[in-house]
Amino acid sequence: MAGTYSLAELARRSGAELRGDGDRVISGVETLNRAGPGQISFFNNTKYRRYLADTQAAAVILRPEDLPDCPCDALVTDNPYLAWARVTACFAPEVPRQPGIHPSAVVDAGAEIHDSASIAAGCVIGSGARIGADVQLGPNCVIGRDVTLGQGTRLVASITILDGVSIGEDCLIHPGAVIGSDGFGLANDQGHWEKVAQLGGVTIGNRVEIGANTTIDRGAIHDTVIADGVKLDNQIQVAHNVEIGENTAIAACTGISGSTRIGAGCTLAGGVGVVGHIELADGVHVSGASVVSRSLKEPGVYTGGVLAMPHKTWQKNIARIRQLDDMARRLRKLEKALAGIQNDE
């Protein structure tokens, strides 16, 4: 994919409208304030407007209303970030792939591996595993028994997929991810914990991306389910029996407790905490660092985090919060007294 492209070709690939010299050669991508001749950039956030007028980029991707401020050729679209994504893909280096199994890989005789699959050094593949066409396993991946990996799925490196997990086609999983580990199921016996067997698996759809060091637990009885098109960032915890609907995107450090159902087309920003056994409707969007403690049954934006403030202000606010219960009681007492006075009149 990497190389040089004419601006007209990038317009075609990105779905944007060309304004300028279609023969201009573009050799790379860069931010507005760092771009130079031969590079393309994008403008999508008004915070960076100060860089637009002075950019040295050969071309900029932007909205129609921002075109008058652009000093160079442009690709015009109502969704600059989407066009930017498509343009950056043109310059992404190709991942080298050589079908075959590295001599240092350990593959059980009962595993089925397509001839076009690529198995790198140090991989371990268990009995009954089925590795589809064009699958790529990077170094030191562990694939458990009866795992299924669909066509075109890529595991970058050092990923653990435990027994019975099913992963669809064209998925991308980043280093350190663990899929199919036991859920946190424990029964208390007079102060001592006894493990509840985790008998389900994990089912992952097509075109799913899973970030580095993200963990997805197997279900207690039924499978944990990640639907088609879901995008999970780094260091996310998905507990047992969670269900995540199609095309939902979840940012880093989010924790989702067991048996929660998240609908389709949702977004959860960084650091969100979701308690167990609740439901989020389709189209729910949760702001960063929010704690979701109840079901959200209507689409929309929900915010529950406390924004950062100067420490002394925070201390004063916390002091007031501690007084709220007493203040509420005093207010009710005053309201009753005022109602009595009004009745006497």
Task: Determine contact, residues 217/183, Cβ cutoff 8 Å.
Answer: yes
Long-range contacts of 43-49 (CB under 8 A, 24+ apart): 43/70, 43/80, 44/80, 44/81, 44/84
Q: How far apart are CA 21 and CA 322, in angstroms?
A: 64
Return the residue matching tokens 């050094």.
121
Q: How far apart are CA 152 and CA 147, in angstroms?
A: 15
Q: How far apart are CA 303 and CA 299, in angstroms?
A: 13
Could you say which of 240, 277, 285, 311 is catalytic? 240
DSSP annotation string for 260-301: -EE-TT-EE-TT-EE-SS-EE-TTEEE-TT-EE-S-B-S-EE
How many CA atoms lie less than 13 Å away from 218 in the CB half-sphere?
19
Task: Determine contact, residues 229/205, Cβ cutoff 8 Å.
Answer: yes
Q: Is 114 a catalytic residue?
A: no
Please give the positions annotated as active site: 240
